[in-house]
A and B are shown apart, each in its own frame.
Chain A
Amino acid sequence: MIGAIGFGATFVSFLGALLGFAAALLALRGRWSSGPAVRIAMLTAAALVAANMIMVVALVRHDFSISYVAQVGSRTTPLLYTVASLWGALEGSILFWAGLLSVVLMLFAVRTRGADREDLPAALAVLFAVLSFFAFIVLLPGNPWASVSPVPGDGPGPNPLLGNHPLMAIHPPLLYLGFVGLSVPFALTVAALLRGQLDDRWLAVTRRWTIIPWVSLSAGLVLGAWWSYAVLGWGGYWAWDPVENVALLPWLTTTAWLHSAMVSARRGILRGWNVALIVVSFALTILATLVTRSGILDSVHAFTESPIGPLFLVLFATVAAGALVLVALQLPKSTSGGTPLGTRGGAFLLNNLLFVAVAATVLFGTLFPLIVEAVADARVSVGAPYFERVIGPLALGLLVLAGIGPTLPWGNWTAESRRRLVPGGLAAATAAVALLLLDGRPEVVAAGAASVFALVESISLIARRVGALRARGPGMHGARRSVGGLTAHAGVAVIGLAVLASTAGQTDVTATLRAGETLPLGSDTLTFDGIAQSAQGAGRDAVTARMQLREGDRLTLVSPSLTLFTASNATVATPAIVPGALADLYVTLTEVDPAADAATFRFARYPFVSWLWVGGGILVAGGLLAAWPAPRRHGQPAPERTTVALDHAADRI
């Protein structure tokens, strides 16, 4: 019954998307106003939100007559993970995705309607077309509502790795929101291309609709790294796994765009390049879905047979080829108002070059095993050691640039602007000498100097901007935006330092302890109290080791656990983490010998790793600061040119 209602809601939304597409086309041809399309957008969003809510209700009520619930639900799963399993498997995630897209579409339609944009009908047409694709998948090949008979009494529950940490409930929706959000800049760009006018307004509006998805993607990526660290039990946070790589790609190209858009706004050049970056970012979100959801790049054994993968391939090819043809037909011959780049423009160019090179390398490396298999019938692996070696130098270049770029003037390089490099330069020199003495590896010296340089430069520039803001009084939109950018830079530098410290300074020891034994760890001690059977049955056996960590007077309970899945003989180790500002203690239970009441543990210290999440928070905060809408004075937003002039003024401070 619930299944029929859910299917009905999905069907209505599919019809709505098609109708909306038609209405938007009619508005585009000038036959209708865009009013009907906007109203259809609301209706479609309502239907899809309802469909998602119905699925949540079905999940919570354990209605196993619905195929998706029978596939991912289980009576023993806690409520949070039951709700989160909405996006835990293929069909549900596409339903969720379609729901997010319909809401974003509606928000875009409603927000833009009042401004009476010429681009609205075309942009709505594009969004409705993408939405009808997703609604179609939910309706037919990925229908989660199919009825199961006989109705099973219980289900297997979600994938065990995805159902044991609260981060799993936030990190995928944030990534999805980022992916979905990037369809708005794409739609706006297609609309601008159709009109043949890539003007300042296109740039300003598109930037507004890009920063939020970018923030969401950044947060999703950092939380995903945190989840890996907290759940997977090997202490790492980024494995250069295909699924991680493809999620990183749109972030890389969007970050490049956020920078190149600034050059366009100031110098009126690189419009075609900007269009390309937006189109590529959107196409990469589809590629990411394709790779994540088809399992095509997974390991030897896992592979989901479903028509959905090929369908996404078709969508990817259509978007990419269609946009390319559109650009070739419609890109204005030449744009006006171009002025020399200046030193800062040059730095932006270099930044774009590095970001795009990183993205291209990650994409090629990720797909390389597929390519080799297709042409040479051989099998190769491309993993972390490769990516670290080739991406490392490029990332260092980007860090240095993050420090230098904001100090540069748009004109010639002046002594004044060079003086701003002094604090960072001195800090980098100190860091280099210290790391040479402490560690001595050249890559550690280079990475440490670059991160410290970027961090100190960003902080000193923020201080300078804030000081200037205070002196001049409130209301400098451009300055606030640039403080946001600098904050994001500082966040990246903190992430760089945390990555460096936690990998270069990692120490670990493996030890087998009997119950009651104590292991000295530096000045602290760890006592192993014994093993407890924490859960049994339903295809899994879990044991937990109880330990006490004594740091001076402080006593902390540490309880890593080990779950054995009897069907596959696979063990999943859930680590126990004692976080600290200087270092985390990371304890993994690797083997249990119940007969001897003994267990084998891996004890690792990861210096500074908590700062990775802090750095991610700073990055996101910077993005939000830059995205926050400007306070409207006299009911009117400051025109872009005025902002530019104000930014120029800010530069000279």
Chain B
Amino acid sequence: MTIRVPLHRSDLALVVAIAIVVLALLIAIARPLIPTLDARARALDSELRCPVCQGTAIADSPAVFAAEMRAVVRERLAAGLTDEQVRDFFVERYGTWILLAPPPQGPQVLLWLAPGFALAGGALLLVHRARRKQRPEAVVASPAKVSRRGTFAIVVALTLAVGLPVAVVLGPRGIGDEITGTVALGNQLAPSLADREASVASDPRSVVALVSLGDAYVDAGRSAEAVSVYLRALELEPLNVRASLALGVILLSAGRPAEALALFDRLLVSSPDQPDALLYRALARYQLGAPSEEVRSDVLRFLAVAGNDPRRAMAERLLDLASPAPSG
């Protein structure tokens, strides 16, 4: 496509103006200013995230800790370190998390490519749409048909909009979720699996280490290994509460309630008021189709001893399910 552009005097002025702007930019780019130590420090300040604040850079934080970090930046620069080395100093201590503009490595490459992808994708889409050959008038499907199909669509969409939230709030909480939640309990420190394997290797007779490794296997979805580790723990300490519970839960979720029931029975002989064991034994009994009084007695005991346990709702639901009333 060629456009003939007749040149006018005003065009000349425009060309000169554009040339000046471009020239000024080129000079600015070609003549890099050597930043002062202070300018470098300020730039680094705005790239480092303040650990004790809500997502602000140390440059913008009034916190004393941020002031200390600014001082460290200046000390290191004065000692002759490069910007990169100063960044590394903080990354070593806090991880990449400390950088507000993460370097384009690993998954962060995507971050830096995002604007390019957005531009290219948008350009393709828009050019495609704008270029589409326009067809003559015939616009719409017949209105009657549209209206019926449309009404159907709106009813479905809006029922979902209203119904799903209601279901989320009022509906019973998933029993399976609760169980995995229990296994992960007390697991806030989360050292790596390798760490725990190492600690078991160094002390194979430590029940605590074995249980912790078993928990890590459960988290990693490696149930078979978890089972064997928990069994080892139970050999060392047959009535270990955590190992029994975790193993029982795995058996329950694997659809083997009978074996789980045996485990919980044994545990409850030694500690009759262990709330988790009560709840899960009720669950196991319910799954095995045990008489409803047995299920209910465990649940009622659980409700009595559990206090403000988040699983009360689940227990109450179990109580309902196990109620002998024919109407339910």
Contacts and interface: CB of A to CB of B under 8 A. Distances in A.
Asked if A and B touch directly (CB within 8 angstroms), the answer is yes
Contacts of A468: none
A336 B170 CA distance: 49
A440 B34 CA distance: 11
B123 interface: yes
B62 A234 contact: yes
Given A307-B168, A441-B33, A361 B17 contact: no
Interface string B196-208: 0000000000000
A384 B100 contact: yes
A272 interface: yes
Nearest to A334: B135
Interface of A: 18, 21, 25, 28-29, 122, 125-126, 129-130, 132-133, 136-137, 140-141, 190, 193-197, 233-236, 239, 241-242, 268-270, 272-273, 298-299, 302, 307, 310-311, 314-315, 318-319, 322-323, 325-326, 329-330, 332-339, 341, 345, 349, 352-354, 356-357, 360-361, 364-365, 368, 372, 375-376, 378-386, 389-391, 394, 412-413, 415, 418-419, 421-422, 425-426, 428-429, 432-433, 435-436, 440-442, 444-446, 449, 570-573, 588, 590-591
B97 A415 contact: no
A204 to B, nearest CB: 17
Contacts of A315: 161, 165
Given A269-B130, A314-B165, A356-B122, A419 B54 contact: no
A506 to B, nearest CB: 9
B269 interface: no
Nearest to A139: B169
B164 A318 contact: yes
Contact of B97 (A25, A268, A379, A385): A379
B137 interface: yes
Given A129-B162, A330-B146, A378 B96 contact: yes
Prevailing SS type, chain B contact patch = helix
Contacts of A378: 95-96, 107
A365 B112 CA distance: 9
Contact of A125 (B31, B99, B115, B158): B158
A326 B29 contact: no
Nearest to B142: A196
A432 B146 contact: no
B150 A330 contact: yes
Interface residues of B, number: 88
Given A334-B134, A382-B100, A418 B150 contact: no
Closest 8 CB pairs of A and B: A383-B100, A322-B157, A425-B17, A338-B134, A194-B150, A385-B101, A429-B20, A432-B24
B28 interface: yes
B91 to A, nearest CB: 11
A334 B139 contact: yes
Interface string B19-42: 011001101110101000000000
B3 A412 contact: yes
Contacts of B27: 436
B20 A196 contact: no
18 contacts: A21-B158, A129-B161, A136-B165, A234-B56, A241-B56, A299-B54, A311-B165, A325-B153, A325-B157, A352-B122, A357-B118, A365-B114, A379-B95, A383-B55, A383-B100, A390-B115, A418-B11, A425-B14
A255 to B, nearest CB: 15
A367 B150 CA distance: 34
B100 A429 contact: no
A449 B24 contact: yes
Interface in B25-75: 25, 27-29, 31, 33, 46-47, 49, 53-57, 59-64, 67
Given A269-B129, A381-B102, A421-B14, A241 B55 contact: yes
